[in-house]
Amino acid sequence: MRFDLPNGDYVQALQDVSLELAQGELLSVLGPSGCGKTTLLNIVAGFLAPTSGDITLNGHAVTEPNAERGMVFQQGALFEWMSVRDNVSFGPRMAGKPQSEWGANVDHLLDVVGLQDFKEKAIYELSGGMQQRVALARCLANDPDVILMDEPLGALDALTREKMQGLVLKLWKETGKTIILITHSVEEALLLGERLLVMAPRPGRIHKEYRLPFADLGVGADLREVKKHPEFNERREEILGMIWDMEEEIMGRTEGEA
């Protein structure tokens, strides 16, 4: 993925990123800022067309956004002019389905994410954590094959975030969806990622890939117990060191250029 700039210059945002994801896998992507995580996600979502290479899902190439790939954003992607229920039922309604088809499912999803008492509320009346639960439910109501999450919990406070991580794991197991999750929290990547991708910047590329047991351990369990797992700490230190080195490299280079 290369961005050609008007002045003839270019930015190599991603280079040689190849990966294959099986049905029902949860992949978390981690990396220092500017390593192309979001660019990668935007390409997968179909918002950006790659300069070379291709994305294949269900046997066809990805060229534009589609309901088969749902997206959960960090914040502010809900429609404030609709009630919670209207937000969640947006996908089915846009597809022209009658209420009899989606009504029960939407109610069920709102129950699952714990918003049973807030179905008719306006979005601005909800807290940040509740809003992200609406975003999750909205995505699931459309029944996508792949869910793309762009730092979905990034704007939440630490306690709400832990609760939400449990919810994401629970929904993942219950629905069996394939999920790609972008985060800049090492703990979150370790806890949620069945597979974990560490990316390196300039140009954005895959630095290292892990297969982790914590996501399965964490389903239905106390996430704080999972964090006490000896391997968890080891991995965290390892990845933190990795990213630390990369950040240092970036800093050093900018200082050198200056």
Partner 1 sequence: MIPFLIYIVIFIVAFLVVRTVTDQAQKGFNARKTVTFGDESAVRSNRVASVISILTLFLLWGTFTGSSLLPGFLHMPGAFTGTTTFEYTARADDGSEDTATVTVLVHPAQEDADAPEVDPGDGWAKNDAAAIGAYRSGLIRVDRNDEKGRDQGHQIIAVNGQPIAPGGEVFVDNARLGMSEKGTLNFVPAKGWQMEAIWLPPPEKVVERLGEIASSGYRDSTLWEHLGFSLFRVIVGFVCGALVGIPLGYAMGLSGWFRGWFDPIVEFMRPVPPLALIPLIIIWFGIGENGKIILLFLAALWIMAIAARAGVSGVAISKVHAAYSLGASKWQIMRHVIVPNSLPEIFTGARVAMGVCWGTVVAAELVAAEQGAGMMIMVASKFQLTDIVILGIILIGIIGFGIDVLMRMGERWLVPWKGKI
**Chain residues in the site for partner 1 (CB under 8 A):** 45-47, 64-67, 69-71, 73-81, 90-91, 94-95, 122-124, 135, 138-139, 142, 144, 148
Of residues 68 and 249, the one with the C-beta less far from partner 1: 68
Of residues 6 and 230, the one with the C-beta less far from partner 1: 6
Structure tokens at 121: 């509320």
Pairing between β-strand 178-182 and β-strand 60-61 as defined by DSSP bridges: unpaired
Of residues 50 and 144, the one with the C-beta less far from partner 1: 144
Of residues 1 and 198, the one with the C-beta less far from partner 1: 1
Of residues 47 and 210, the one with the C-beta less far from partner 1: 47
Distances (CA, A) of 194 to 108, 166, 206, 211, 239: 26, 14, 16, 6, 15
Of residues 14 and 148, the one with the C-beta less far from partner 1: 148
Closest separation in Å from C-beta 74 to partner 1: 8
Report the Cα 142 to chain-centroid distance in Å. 16
Closest separation in Å from C-beta 234 to partner 1: 36
Distances (CA, A) of 119 to 13, 16, 134, 167: 41, 45, 10, 18
Of residues 178 and 246, the one with the C-beta less far from partner 1: 178
Closest separation in Å from C-beta 128 to partner 1: 11
End-to-end CA, the chain = 27
Closest separation in Å from C-beta 76 to partner 1: 5
Closest separation in Å from C-beta 14 to partner 1: 19
Closest separation in Å from C-beta 64 to partner 1: 8
Closest separation in Å from C-beta 43 to partner 1: 13
